Amino acid sequence: MNRVKVLQAWLWCVSLWPVWLSHAVPLDCKDETGSLIQCTSISQEKLLDRVIQHAELIYRVSEESCTLFEQMFVPYPLHALRNQGGTMCHTKPFPIPGSKSEIQQISDKWLLHSVLMLVQSWMEPLIYLQTTLNRYDDAPDALLNKTKWVSDKLLSLEQGVVVLIRKMLDEGILTPSIFEHTLTPYDEPSPEIPESVLRDYNLLICFKKDAHKMETFLKLLKCRQSNKLSCLSY
């Protein structure tokens, strides 16, 4: 079981190697004049803390956005959809384990990469979500602001995770930015509002679930970093 998974992960990394090469995104620091200078360093723990804070905030905001959307546009009987955690979330290139035992057996590297992958997979759908939400007649401003905010925060989260990977794993991974999504965005809104509403609702639910995953992984990682013994055993 584990071997299969390890093989899968390795295959994934290898297959995406050329993609990573083609998108070199060096993290450079620039001062006021614009010239490249040595970036000020930050300790790994602090960075991890900040990344976790980002993930927590994103998760909370995603939940609030979901609630806002649900209150405005989704009729009450369909609120149960939320309990189901989304029906049509787009599948990831690799499955993420769901049980605690399995997750605890995942390596740090795996955790970080999973987080990174999750973050990157949501960048485009969120932008799409912003455009669709703008088409709603009475979308509350809070909802629009939140989705916009989340998009921005995802970018910075991605950068943080990349730096973490570089620091913790000593890997110089260049962030790939293109992922295939099973959920293709529609260019035009569907004439039937409920369908597009359902779709957006679903999107928000799936995003909330994935944000929860990110946060959980990062927290597990932190526990491992601080206190390896108690975190690994349960």
Partner 1 sequence: MAYSLSLGLLYLGLLCGNGLVSARSELFTPDPSRGPHFTGCRSREQETFRCWWSAGIFQNLTEPGALRVFYRTKNALSEWQECPDYTHTVKNECYFNKTFTHIWTSYCIQLRSVRENITYDETCFTVENIVHPDPPIGLNWTLLNVSRSGLHFDILVRWAPPPSADVQTGWMSLVYQVQYRVRNASHWEMLDLESGTQQSIYGLHTDKEYEVRVRCKMSAFDNFGEFGDSILVHVAQIPSKESTFPMTLVLIFGVIGLVILLVLLIFSQQQRLMVIFLPPIPAPKIKGIDPELLKNGKLDQLNSLLSSQDMYKPDFYHEDPWVEFIQLDLDDPAEKNESSDTQHLLGLSRSGSSHVLNFKSDDDSGRASCYDPEIPNPEDLASLLPGHSGRGDNLPLVSRSSLSIPDLGVQQTSEVEETPIQTQPAVPSWVNMDFYAQVSDFTPAGGVVLSPGQLNSSPEKKKEEENEKKIQFQLVSDGAYTSENTARQLSAEVPPSPGPEQEYQTFPTQAVEGNLWNGEYLVSTSDSQIPYLLPEATPAPILPPVSDYTVVQEVDAQHSLLLNPPSSQPAICPHSPNKHLPAMPTMPMGYLTPDLLGNLTP
Footprint of partner 1 (CB under 8 A): 56, 59-60, 62-63, 76-88, 95-101, 104, 195, 198-199, 208-209, 212-213, 215-216, 218-220, 222-223, 230-231, 234
Nearer to partner 1, 41 or 182 (CB): 182
Task: Please identify, using beta-carbon distances, which residue of 54 and 176 lies nearer to partner 1.
Answer: 54
Choice between 82 and 146, CB closer to partner 1 = 82
Burial environment of residue 231 by CB neighbours within 10 A (0 to 12, 13 to 18, 19 or more): middle
Residue 9 or 96 having the CB closest to partner 1: 96
Q: How far is CA 126 from CA 25, 31, 209, in A?
A: 21, 31, 14
Q: Please state the closest distance from residue 119 (CB atom) to partner 1, in A.
A: 16
Distance CA 79, CA 125 (A): 22
Phi, psi (5° rounding) for residue 224? Answer: -65, -40
Q: d(Cα 130, Cα 122) in Å, to the nearest integer? A: 12
To the nearest whole angstrom, how small is the minimum distance from the Cβ of residue 196 to partner 1? 11
Q: Whole-number minimum distance, CB 74 to partner 1, in Å?
A: 11
The residue length of the chain stands at 234
- Beta strand extents in 1-89 (DSSP E only): 29-30, 36-37
Question: Of 123 and 231, which CB lies nearer to partner 1 in the complex structure?
Answer: 231
CB of 14 to partner 1, least distance (A): 24
Minimum distance from CB of 35 to partner 1 (Å)?
A: 40
Among candidate residues 28, 44, 24, 26, the one with its CA nearest the CA of residue 36: 28
